[in-house]
Amino acid sequence: MGVSRKERIHALRDDYNAARRKGKTSAALKALQELEALEPEEPRWPHQRGDLLRREGRGAEAADAFEKATDLYAAEGFVARAVAMAKTLLQVDPSRTEVLDRVDPSVARKAHREARPHSGELRAVGRSMVEEAPKLEPSPTASADEIRFLDIELVEEEEIMELDVSELELIDEPPLPSLSLVPEAPEPPASARLDRLALMPSFPLFSELPPSRLRRLAQGADLVELPPRATVVQKGEPADALYCVVDGRVRVEIAALPPAQRPHLGEGDVFGESVLLEHAVRQTDVVTVEPLVALRIPRAVLDEVVEGVPMLDDLLFELLARRLLANFLGTSPLFTPFSPTDRRELAKRFEVRRADPGTTLMAEGKRCDGLYVLVQGRLSISRPGGVEDRGPGSIFGIRAMIHRAPATATATTLTECVLLRLPEARFTAFVASFPPALAHLAEIAAGARALDGDTLS
């Protein structure tokens, strides 16, 4: 009985991996050429062939292979990979700029809209999630000793927008199989990889751009290639770009978490959302865990390509809101009894709300009606010791909600603000189903444990 096509493909993969490890370039190229013939729609084979040819100094042949890989990645829906591959090609042959014009996002757009069928409904009428978020309205039944707003289900709006936390970075999932190296074990088919990528943060940033905007993004983005244990961004430096991971993994060095618990980001993930804030600086270091290929999108390019595309405004808002929420839920001692899965469920209870300038969200001496995370805008926090001007990332309402006691500070919006709000009733109903959490909260309320005083008002 002869060898089947599937068996021959697996044998050639083994041959390629063995030759690559031993530095036998000719044998590796021979295996790749046969793999390309057997799987003509698989972009990894010309991608790998281009890498080998480039190392051998065979620039023209490498450029041909990279150009083929670019077209195949786009045809599969891997638009970020196609852009990164095109940037690699242009490093080898700067004259082939037309390759960027051929990166077609239609396959990726179809996958994204099938994965999130409601994501474009409001944006079709030209309004973003932020514009559609209902304003905070004082509850007419609030007592004199509390600040209370109508909960979202009681606000009469035709369309209510709540934060999509389906991609909240709180659950440790295995990374997608590396596409830049040929795996030893069987990997999911391209369709399965595409389905998963369609739900990842960076995917719609590429798939939903009009072709002319995608070309501008591709032209303006920088290709970043770094070895393991390299620093990509450093705490305290200006937040001047957004990063989209194409291949490899990075670790976000959140100081409040032990190293083993710090989040890892891989293909399809985004970091550097602080670029969306005015005059922001990086809050954490981000270091590579594996060799990294990423697209670095400068602030000016990002502003240019998303202008006038409401769906992309929503995407960037969700990126920022999810990361703020994930960092808070993942690092606050308040939530240590909850598993990552439970924390993501809790995140779904948050509402996206707007507040006019001059809105008092919390008042000293009065009970607060929930937990608030500021995503856009500025507010002031007034305490007996003075007044602070706060921006996005500010969190307040914890102490008042946990202790069921009057707030010790006053929070007033200085500009129009967009906030994530967790109503007290939703929080209470959620934790009631977790006995260990109830005991933990009782311990906090009794003053037996301290929380971060900066977020406690």
- What secondary structure does DSSP assign to 196-228, as a single string? HHTTSTTHHHHHTS-HHHHHHHHHHPEEEEE-T
- Sorted by where each begins, the domain ranges of the chain are 5-104, 125-174+309-457, 210-306
Q: Which strands, in side-by-side order, build the sheet including 395-396?
A: 351-355, 417-423, 370-376, 395-396
Nearest to 246 by CA among 40, 47, 100, 42: 47
- Cα 370 from Cα 423, distance rounded (Å): 4
Do the domains 125-174+309-457 and 210-306 sit in the same CATH topology, yes or no?
A: yes
Find all residues with CB under 8 Å of 425, minimum gap 6, and list them.
151
Cα end-to-end distance, the chain, whole Å: 76
Per-residue pLDDT of the chain (457 residues; tens, 9 = 90+): 577 888 999 999 999 999 989 999 999 999 999 999 999 999 999 999 999 999 999 999 999 999 999 999 999 999 999 999 999 999 999 999 999 888 989 998 888 888 776 555 434 444 555 667 789 999 999 999 999 999 876 444 434 444 554 444 543 444 444 444 454 445 566 667 777 777 677 788 888 888 889 999 999 999 999 999 999 999 989 989 999 999 999 998 988 778 887 888 888 888 888 887 766 788 889 999 999 999 999 999 998 998 877 777 777 877 777 777 777 777 777 776 777 778 878 888 888 889 999 999 999 999 889 889 888 888 999 988 889 998 888 888 877 677 777 888 899 999 999 888 989 888 888 877 777 766 766 666 565 443 433 444 4
CB 418 within 8 A of CB 376: yes
Q: Kindly state the greatest CA–CA separation across the chain.
A: 87
CATH of domain 210-306: 2.60.120.10
- Cα 41 from Cα 295, distance rounded (Å): 24
CATH architecture of 5-104: Alpha Horseshoe (1.25)
Please state whether beta strands 360-362 and 410-413 pair in parallel, antiparallel, or not at all (unpaired).
Answer: antiparallel
- Per-residue model confidence (pLDDT) at position 158: 39
- Per-residue model confidence (pLDDT) at position 448: 41
- Per-residue model confidence (pLDDT) at position 128: 57
Q: Which strands, in side-by-side order, build the sheet including 285-288?
A: 231-233, 285-288, 250-253, 264-265
Helix (H, G, I), strand (E, B) or coil at 429: helix
Nearest to 286 by CA among 323, 338, 336: 323
- Per-residue model confidence (pLDDT) at position 12: 92
- Per-residue model confidence (pLDDT) at position 290: 93
Q: How far does CA 408 lie from the centroid of its chain?
A: 34
- Per-residue model confidence (pLDDT) at position 449: 41
Question: What CATH fold (topology level) applies to the domain 125-174+309-457?
Answer: Jelly Rolls (2.60.120)
- Per-residue model confidence (pLDDT) at position 268: 87
**CA gyration radius, the chain:** 25
- Per-residue model confidence (pLDDT) at position 451: 40
